[in-house]
Structure 1
Amino acid sequence: MKSNFSYKDIYVEDGKKVLEMNILPEKYCNFDCVFCPIGRSKNKIDEPVSFEDYSSSISELDSIIEKTQPDLVFINSKGEALVNDKVSQIIDFIKSKGLKVRLLSNGYILSKDEYINIANKCDEVIGEIKAITEEDFKKLQRPIEGYTLENYIENMVSFNKQYNGKFIFEITIIKKYNDDEESIQKIKDVIKRINPDKIEIVRIDDERMKKTLWVDDEKFEEIKRELMNI
């Protein structure tokens, strides 16, 4: 039985069993970030794509849910999960099992009605930001032509204003790009605009990039405290 989905080992978070899954057969994304651990984006898109073997994938998911009995299913894919044209049905299937759904989206396309409607089905949505200037956004994240950092931020702002679930805002701190005081102030302003329910502060975790983009522990903890306390 062929499946386009893949899974991580189930783990416990805040006392709940989490099943983390990927719903893309390979990387499909609207960005091509230089530090992406998956590699380059051969499929750089922000429109829905149809994949084969959907029924087999759902059958496998059903079996895994029955076997692992999770409390929450975390859709964390190879790129932007929302471009799978069956993502809405996948979420509906998971919800039909009485489970909560968390969706990771980079957040850019959350301004489109079709994606807003899909994300609104989820109990939790994660949006994220890395670069904090227009120049760095284009240099580091290599978005689809025409994308701007301001639109990126505003798309998450407008989405969260109408969203009734838990919006989690993930901020990646990158050495020499957004770890200075001016950048931290800009990030604070973005946090205030988006008004998320939860903030997560992380670092680049790709081993290839740690030498140049990794923020040391002391500075990272200092930044983390500053951002978490606004």
Structure 2
Amino acid sequence: MLKMAFKYIYGPIRSRRLGLSLGLSLSPGKTCNLNCIYCQWGRTVGTVSQRREYADPNEIIAELKSWMRKNPKTAQRLKFVTLSGLGEPTLNTRIGELIGKVKKITSCRIAVITNSTLLGNPRVRKALLGADLVVPSLDAVDEKIFRRIDRPHPDVKLEKIISGLVSFGKEFRGKFWLEIMLVSGINDSIGHINKLKSVIQRINPDKIQLNSPVRRTAEENVLSVPSVKLEKIKKILGEKAEIV
């Protein structure tokens, strides 16, 4: 489980994708509409679908200001402030407001890591327009595979996720990196990858980031895809694809 000295702040974490990034969680615990088998934070106990104010942006900003005062040198080296955390950040109805408030107190770029489930909602897409980078995920384009790997709340519909991603790709002017979490024997068949490729062409992200579980997962026997096969999948998906 993620260790957090603050209620909403974690890190900073250094990653190959984002460099030095400070994370903000938009809920005090794991609040999500998916129960992914590969989730490093464990199972979602009771998925939710309703958007509401799971955390007050003013409280989050107060914590961020406190962290910056206590860590001035590290704050200057940050590349990103990342909205993600233990659950799905777009479930918080005030995410757009938070993005604006963060931009007022730091020169860091703002990244949002999302499971894409709410991008079919125009209000959610509009709220994310202030971010510099959005990294949505799409693990499956087949309904059975989607329900097996991501185990969504009944209100979450794959068709709406895909249409939302297509719309967001047309509306967003920042960097747009699509992440795919590949699990051996579930969503890594060549047939499914070719279907993914067709959908991704409609979404038109700047990058396609291929990932596979390496940390502890919510369920047992969730296997990583071998590196040789990852390279093959990368080749199928084309020049925008990279393994992260």
Q: CA–CA distance in 2 between the matches of 1:15 and 1:28?
A: 24
- Counterpart selection for 1:64 from 64, 67, 74: 67
Question: Is 2:224 the partner of 1:214?
Answer: yes
For residues 184-229 of structure 1, the C-alpha deviation after alignment (integer angstroms, 9 at most, x for no partner) is 1111112101000111110023434574421112212222233243
Task: Summarize the Cα distance change of 1:52–1:162 in structure 2 as closer, same or farther, 3 Å threshold.
Answer: closer
Question: Is 2:32 the partner of 1:22?
Answer: no
CA RMSD of aligned residues (A): 2.5
Question: Is 2:154 the partner of 1:154?
Answer: no
Q: Which stretches in structure 2 are left out of the alignment for 5+ residues?
A: none
Q: Secondary structure at the match of 2:110?
A: strand
Map 1:68-83 to 2 at 5 A.
Answer: 68-69=75-76, 70-83=78-91
Question: Is 2:43 the partner of 1:40?
Answer: yes
Amino acid at match of 1:111: G
For residues 44-90 of structure 1, the C-alpha deviation after alignment (integer angstroms, 9 at most, x for no partner) is 22333334665443222013235222232111221210122332232
* Percent identity between the two aligned chains: 28
Amino acid at match of 2:60: S
Could you tell me the TM-score, scaled by structure 1's length? 0.87
For residues 170-189 of structure 1, the C-alpha deviation after alignment (integer angstroms, 9 at most, x for no partner) is 01122112222211111111
Amino acid at match of 1:223: I
Corresponding residue for residue 198 of structure 2: 189
Q: CA–CA distance in 1 between the matches of 2:212 and 2:179?
A: 10
Amino acid at match of 2:93: D
Could you tell me the TM-score, scaled by structure 2's length? 0.83
Q: Secondary structure at the match of 1:214?
A: coil
The CA deviation at 1:93 is 1.5
Amino acid at match of 1:90: L
For residues 8-66 of structure 1, the C-alpha deviation after alignment (integer angstroms, 9 at most, x for no partner) is 12437579542233232111111112222222223422333334665443222013235
Corresponding residue for residue 107 of structure 1: 116
Q: Secondary structure at the match of 2:162?
A: helix
Q: CA–CA distance in 2 between the matches of 1:14 and 1:153?
A: 24
